[in-house]
Amino acid sequence: MKTDNPAPLIRLSNIVKRFGSLTAVNNISLEIKPGEKLVIIGPSGSGKSTLLRAINFLEEIDEGTILFEGREVGYVQKKGRMVLDKPSRICKLRSEIGMVFQHFYLFPHMTVLGNVMEGPLTVQKKPVEEARDIAMAMLEKVGIADKKDVYPATLSGGQKQRVAIARAIAMRPKLMLFDEPTSALDPELVGEVFETIRSLAKEGMTMIVVTHQMGFAREIADRVIFMEQGGFIAQGDARDFFSTNQDNERVQSFLAKIL
Ligand code: ADP
Ligand code: MG
């Protein structure tokens, strides 16, 4: 049955994350539909990374629930407190939710191919041959198969980030999180990483992208959220959000500074 209102792939309800007395994520609720591209923008320190890390279970939240494909995931009650689920279950969830960071985090002691094979091999327990085939296909997809035997240290930042993307998509995630994937790159290397993300978007990948690159945000986003002090201050359809009719003053002043 075709429906205009498909079930969300992920639903966050009333997520709170504190670091001591600081509330980094303050009661956020959010739904992402399959295939949707959400861009989150906002000043430094507003909680964007913490939110993405919470979605990938890299930060343990203090309050709230996360539903993935309609199922509450990630946490169990222990002595009346919410705690992260068993590492094995978290690992499985992380294989469905890929994440790419500003600073790549490739394994320096492994070749490019080794980096991309690692998830299918150790998390998904695929046979070596199959893991290699998957990894090669992903390296082809990000246009870097010719570098399969080199170590990350020999790559440019743009190439490293493309390997990091290949590594994430090798697990066939249903959701991809990109946390400022081009912020650490020299300007001339930004384009190749955007091109890779753009091609994943075209294939229908569901994604949340945190970026300060407004041109790219405008191009890729279905929906844009502006975050400040741990909360969503404004959100909207990408076209309306960046239009000259944007009537939220804080968003206006942020955009004026960044553009
Ligand atoms: P953004 O990604 O929007 O720049 P972050 O999510 O990194 O923001 O940070 C939100 C707030 O939480 C900031 O005030 C930051 O200093 C604080 N914060 C982030 N991680 C930690 C941590 N591990 N310990 C303490 N404070 C943190
Ligand atoms: Mg950040």
pLDDT digits (tens, 9 = 90+) for 128-173: 999 999 999 999 999 999 999 999 999 999 999 999 999 999 999 9
CA–CA separation, 231 and 102 (whole Å): 22
Among candidate residues 32, 11, 15, 12, the one with its CA nearest the CA of residue 23: 15
Which ligand is closest to the CA of 24, given by its number? 1
Query: CA 20, 210, 198 angle in degrees (round to 5)?
Result: 155
CA–CA separation, 91 and 116 (whole Å): 16
For residue 219, what pLDDT is reported?
93
Residue with tokens 């002090």: 229
Domains identified in the chain and CATH numbers: 34-63+96-258 (3.40.50.300)
Confidence check on the interface: ipTM exceeds 0.90, yes or no? yes
Give 184-200 pLDDT, tens digit per residue: 999 999 999 999 999 99
What's the gap in Å between 138 CA and the centre of ligand 1?
A: 32
For residue 245, what pLDDT is reported?
78
For residue 80, what pLDDT is reported?
86
Contact 24, 2 (CB under 8 A): no
The residue whose CB lies within 8 Å of the most ligand 1 atoms, and thus the one to mutate among 41, 44, 49, 62, is 49
Q: What is the mean pLDDT of residues 230-237?
A: 93
Q: Whose CA is nearest to atom 26 of ligand 1?
A: 19
Contact 244, 238 (CB under 8 A): no
Contact 117, 135 (CB under 8 A): yes
Query: Mean pLDDT for the chain?
Result: 94
Of ligand 1's atoms, which has the minimum distance to the CA of residue 25? 10
| Beta carbon of 120 within 6 Å of any ligand 1 atom | no
| Beta carbon of 64 within 6 Å of any ligand 1 atom | no
CA–CA separation, 210 and 116 (whole Å): 23
Of ligand 1's atoms, which has the minimum distance to the CA of residue 51? 6
SS (H, E, C) 99-146: EECCCCCCCCCCCHHHHHHHHHHHHCCCCHHHHHHHHHHHHHHCCCHH
| Beta carbon of 211 within 6 Å of any ligand 1 atom | no
CA–CA separation, 100 and 173 (whole Å): 12
| Beta carbon of 28 within 6 Å of any ligand 1 atom | no
Contact 220, 211 (CB under 8 A): no
Return all residues near 32 (Cβ < 8 A) that are at least 6 apart: 8, 9, 10, 11, 38, 175, 206, 208
Return all residues near 138 (Cβ < 8 A) that are at least 6 apart: 116, 166, 167, 169, 170
What's the gap in Å between 129 CA and the centre of ligand 2?
A: 37
Contact 233, 227 (CB under 8 A): yes
